[in-house]
């Protein structure tokens, strides 16, 4: 998931907070995921303020009681580095949510897509990955084996509150 809409100004990019719209959009994305029975075992969240706030609003909207795992490296990670972070997920985790930044989240989603999933979702995803955009994938394997074109896109959604 790409973080929700953030304020334009802050002392630094890292400290930018979500706008009111961003809070509502992230909560709407959580409601959408919960309606599809998505329940994460872990959330990997960039340590930037806006991604932390996105995770909190997403979890609230979904009704999840799960602390996000803050990852400093996800803030500036490119798609390969983000994939390396995902590969470090422990084996007991069945469902992982990743909340980060663009262009990395869009590139990571495109990198993982095996092309065998929902065609409409694939088209939507390639048209843009706006704030509160999220791609849902299935993957049958060990996290450390996750690779390019190894996950199937189930759906793409943009949270709007």
pLDDT (tens digit per residue) in 18-68: 999 999 999 999 999 999 999 999 999 999 999 999 999 999 999 999 999
Q: Give the pLDDT confidence score for residue 80 in this predicted structure.
A: 97
3 in any annotated domain: no
% of the chain with per-residue pLDDT over 90: 99
| Tens-place pLDDT, residues 94-112 | 999 999 999 999 999 999 9
Q: Give the pLDDT confidence score for residue 161 in this predicted structure.
A: 82
6 in any annotated domain: no
2 in any annotated domain: no
User: How many structural domains compose the chain?
Assistant: 1
Q: Which of 91, 94, 74 is nearest to 139 (CA)?
A: 94
Q: Cβ–Cβ contacts within 10 Å for residue 129, how many?
A: 24
Pairing of strands 69-71, 133-138: unpaired
User: Averaged over 113-133, what is the pLDDT?
Assistant: 95
Domain that residue 22 falls in: 13-158
> Average per-residue pLDDT in the chain?
97
């Amino acid at each position: 998931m790409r973080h929700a809409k953030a304020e334009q100004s802050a002392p630094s990019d890292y400290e930018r907070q979500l706008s009111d719209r961003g809070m509502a959009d992230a909560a709407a994305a959580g409601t959408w995921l919960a309606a599809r029975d998505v329940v994460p075992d872990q959330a990997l969240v960039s340590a930037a303020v806006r991604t932390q706030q996105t995770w909190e609003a997403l979890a609230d909207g979904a009704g999840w009681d799960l602390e996000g795992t803050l990852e400093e490296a996800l803030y500036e990670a490119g798609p390969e580095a983000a994939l390396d972070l995902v590969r470090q997920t422990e084996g007991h985790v069945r469902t992982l949510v990743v909340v980060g930044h663009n262009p990395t989240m869009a590139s990571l989603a495109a990198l993982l897509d095996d092309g065998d999933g929902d065609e409409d979702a694939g088209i939507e995803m390639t048209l843009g990955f706006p704030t509160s955009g999220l791609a849902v994938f299935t993957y049958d394997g060990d996290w450390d084996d996750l690779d390019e074109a190894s996950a199937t896109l189930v759906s793409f959604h943009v949270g709007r509150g």
